[in-house]
Structure 1
């Protein structure tokens, strides 16, 4: 039986971390707030500049001959299509004595089927009075056309039935004439023939009566349908309130802009892959987060809190520099001004123990301007380090942004503290920084996070790393027997063989 003292717990990494995505989207609040504001302004401007034309509506009750309770709406859709023809449009324009073409007038009104028998007509015009007049003319033209079509269908049906009746009457006259020529006799065949003629005459008489009745019903039902088709809602102008339209369109624009901004922020966050959470930044850089500094705030009640956080950060970095026992550098990534200010505050705190010089390798003159302050630590350029006294403590400040001179970083300090702005660099570049520092044999004491997410509750400590937390003096990484292993790290021991019996143990 064998036992091993090493164990590894692997945690599954999700394909999409919702916590990180929400933090990244929240960090891009300027984008989606700007999009929401733009949508709000565009909606309000649309309501003011693009006012709808004067509109009038009317409702027509349409009676159909073949109305059924289970009708799926085919008849009312037919009426809507008929209302959109040039015949009805021309009739309405003729009633208005308008020279406008029917084809152009068709684009200025619409018809909507509310139910199987209710038709809503919406018409626009140059003024409300014109829109109302157009709506009334259209409704009258449709009602007249509908009544004319019903009358034509009823007349055609009655004419066909009367035609059938007249043919039956001619046939009945022929049968009566034939009956009159026959005389009853003793012949059985003649008697049967006469009986069949009498039966045929009775059938013809019944059919003639039926055709008369059906023709009368066709003519009688037509007035009922014509009277049932009428205007039930008189034409009226649709009121338009500009403040209400502005509020409605502005709210719609605000929602659409907010949704679009959130979508763009989410897609941009996923594509850019810029870590924001402490956990992600520490994992990509391979070093624990030892301190943080909140972003700028213009609110007076938060300035005291920000000043206290800056003092705690300075004290933490001072302890790290004291415990290193050798020159330490501060390397910034996306926060040159903050890194220079931190280095200046740390140098001033260390100046009470002895001479301190800040080695400035940052782009820009901000740190040099601070060095000209009376009574402050000396600020020298990287090329002037050789001119410093031997007992002067050096505190280097450099950059690991794209385009950094990696070979010059060991001259700034044997160990380093990374000052990183959250959400500034992508995961690939954080890996590049960690790899370059490893190649230059520069251990990372810890990470100072600038402008972190205020709602981040993740842990930025790497418990399986070289520096699990800031706990006093850190041992320097040195080579041991040419293996490059740190003194604080022991090589892995082989598995221990446990004997199964006393004989095997002997």
Structure 2
């Protein structure tokens, strides 16, 4: 019974791998750390190089005739807008005897409503004294303008009420005259007419009294508004602390830089699609991760740990090369220097068995530029490899970076170990490498992962890749000795039924995606 590898891969692959994103962003900590540091320095520099201008502040208590306890701040917002008019600015400049234009002066101050009746005025100037004088002039101009508007409003209201009272008095005089003259006729109709005149006189008298009282109340309310509108906090200069401003700006810059750096790192990670986790690299290459080498570190205990890991890797590769009847190559992706060091250490481990020759196909002078050591391995280029004798043990070192001559890789070795730097190649390129090696008939023994994430706990083993894994070497050799050849299918344990192995991820890609990867 066979299984559908495409359906299995689609079901097991998540749409968005948060763990891979977190690991990739953490690996780009140099980027977001540098941006956070740049934001910190920029914030501190702004505070030092661009200090705030001298500033003065004053507070004005503003009384309104229509004040209500449930006011939502509409009146004080109106006062703020009135403060920012050319009329107030012109009056303040006139009291300062300044030739500055009101439009220019309006850019140097602002108002803010602290409560429903408290207005704060903030003014800047060339010096503390000038800023304080400007604040005082603005406060006085605003108070004078507010009082004048309240008085004008009260006078207009009082005048309108008095005019209405006077019109009522004229009408009352006419009614009294009509009552005094009486009606020449007698009878029920004349009596009803006199009653209506008396009722009208009573109504007019009441309304005249009411208008008089309202006019008096309008005039009485103005002194309360005038007395209630005053400067409650004298203008004073604001003292700026340079260390405090620098620390505040630096903290803001640090946070902004860190957020921007994390965002750039996250977006770059998603767009680049460069696998970092072991399971992703193994799945995209179709080969298991057989060893890891952490990046170099200046800490002594970590150097010892890296040295021990390198020795284990060399021993494992030497055992593989000795036990293989076919030549083995090392192919690097994003780590030419590490691959050259591994090749040299591998050659030193194989030296006791006889002369060792390294076929160098790496870009640059990682191997060819080194100074040869007495008794050390011989490094030759690919064109000189044909002149070597068959009695010498040799292995090739090449690259699978973009621009690789794929047809030349089989001359470096018919089997290969990939040396890949985590997070270097994109998923599409890893698919391309796996497909090209398969087309050339070069099985991948395993992957040596350079600079893995130290917090990665994923499994980099392909459990159904026995035909290429190191743990399947002995079984393949036994089958080859028995004449069975190399099989790409293994029997299921326990049931004894044949099972088709799961193909690597690149094998399930269609022609369109493969063309895209190429």
TM-score (norm 2): 0.89
> Residues 29-428 of structure 1 correspond to what in structure 2 (within 5 A)?
29-182=29-182, 187-370=187-370, 372-428=372-428
Distance 2:479 2:405 in 1: 24
Q: Is the 8 A contact 1:57 1:122 kept in 2?
A: yes
Q: Is the 8 A contact 2:445 2:469 kept in 1?
A: no
Instruction: Name the SS of the counterpart of 2:367 in structure 1.
Output: helix
TM-score (norm 1): 0.91
Instruction: Name the SS of the counterpart of 2:362 in structure 1.
Output: coil
CA positional deviation for 1:339: 0.9
Say if 1:110 and 1:477 are closer, same or farther in 2 by CA, change over 3 A.
farther
CA positional deviation for 1:175: 2.1
Residue in 2 aligned with 1:470? 471
State the Cα deviation string for residues 259-282 of structure 1 (Å, max 9, x = none). 111111111111111111111111
CA positional deviation for 1:446: 0.6
Distance 2:56 2:168 in 1: 55
Q: Is the 8 A contact 2:443 2:468 kept in 1?
A: no
Instruction: Name the SS of the counterpart of 1:290 in structure 2.
Output: strand
Distance 2:196 2:250 in 1: 87
Residue in 2 aligned with 1:437? 437
Instruction: Name the SS of the counterpart of 1:417 in structure 2.
Output: strand
Q: Is the 8 A contact 1:131 1:237 kept in 2?
A: yes
Q: Is the 8 A contact 2:491 2:498 kept in 1?
A: no
CA positional deviation for 1:472: 5.1
Q: Is the 8 A contact 1:154 1:219 kept in 2?
A: yes
CA positional deviation for 1:382: 2.1
Say if 1:193 and 1:409 are closer, same or farther in 2 by CA, change over 3 A.
closer
Give RMSD over aligned pairs: 2.5
CA positional deviation for 1:473: 3.3
Distance 2:81 2:131 in 1: 21
Distance 1:365 1:127 in 2: 66
Aligned residues: 488
CA positional deviation for 1:477: 12
CA positional deviation for 1:126: 0.8
CA positional deviation for 1:221: 1.1
State the Cα deviation string for residues 10-37 of structure 1 (Å, max 9, x = none). 5431122111111111121111111111
State which drifts further: 10-19 or 231-240.
Answer: 10-19
Distance 1:418 1:478 in 2: 25
Distance 2:425 2:2 in 1: 38
CA positional deviation for 1:370: 4.4
